[in-house]
Amino acid sequence: MKERPPTRRGPGRPREFDEDDALEEAMQTFWVKGFTRTSLDDLLCATGMARQSLYRVFGDKRALFRKVLDRYGAMHRGMLQTLLQDNPSPLAGLDALVDLWESSALEDDFSGCLNLNSLAEFAAVEDDEIQDVLHTNLADAEGAIIDALSRAVALGELELRRTPTEVAHSLLGTAQALSHLGRYRVQPALIHNIAAGARDLLGAPR
């Protein structure tokens, strides 16, 4: 065994990219085009990185995508945390969440939820690790919504005809529908009426 200078930080040429910025740009690209339709050239162009640097820093395309999914998951969890967990009124948070879903889905450049997009893209692909990440992220969102519904009920903000889990599942279905239909650029009325259905679940006419 040759003795190797253990983890010695050498000097070396300075990077011309920021790792975090690059990851953000990669995420945006995957978000808009999906995994398969994003080529390495797309990623190099978006991140401004050299080919070799991308492979050195992030590994191959799939590994980069995996990191992007983690980043998106963290971002999304943060959003739910702010809206639901940190909100003194969980019901107001849930309302705001539905509003966010609707308004996002109505935006002209809406690209859907990256996690749901990816579930669709990888549904027919054998890749347990990626699918685990995607399903875990989905379960996290489910948990956050169940929790918020439960607290809203406990606080007397909301009366439910079904259990929090059952209602949360309907809300998740709404999110799924809005994410995809918004991405398909369907008529805005369709988006709006689906969101209205979700508001009904939250005791809309009050």
Q: What is the DSSP letter of 16?
A: S
Q: Which is nearer to a second copy, 91 or 146 (CB)?
A: 146
11 near DNA, judged by CB under 7 A = yes
Which does residue 52 bind out of DNA, a second copy, none, counting CB within 5 to 8 angstroms by kind? DNA
Interaction pattern, residues 82-111, with a second copy; x per rule: CB under 8 A: -----------------------------x
DSSP code string of 106-146? HSTT----HHHHHHHHHTTS--HHHHHHHHHHHHHHHHHHH
156 near DNA, judged by CB under 7 A = no
9 near DNA, judged by CB under 7 A = yes
Burial-class residue 156 by CB neighbours within 10 Å (0-12, 13-18, 19+). exposed
> Contact with DNA (CB under 7 A): which of 2, 3, 6, 12?
12
194 near a second copy, judged by CB under 8 A = yes
15 near DNA, judged by CB under 7 A = yes
Stretch 29-88 residues interacting with DNA (CB under 7 A): 38-41, 49-53, 55-57, 60-62
Which does residue 180 bind out of a second copy, DNA, none, counting CB within 5 to 8 angstroms by kind? a second copy
Please count the residues of the chain: 206
CA atoms within 13 A on the CB side of 106: 14
Q: Which is nearer to DNA, 17 or 92 (CB)?
A: 17
Long-range contacts of 145-153 (CB under 8 A, 24+ apart): 145/80, 145/84, 145/94, 145/97, 145/171, 145/172, 147/84, 147/85, 147/90, 148/84, 148/85, 148/87, 148/90, 148/91, 148/93, 148/94, 149/90, 149/94, 151/90, 152/89, 152/90, 152/91, 152/94
Q: Which is nearer to a second copy, 87 or 95 (CB)?
A: 95
Site for a second copy, rule CB under 8 A: 32-34, 36-37, 111-112, 116-117, 119-121, 123-125, 134-135, 138, 142, 161-162, 165-166, 169-170, 172-174, 176-178, 180-181, 183-186, 189-190, 193-194, 196-197, 200-201
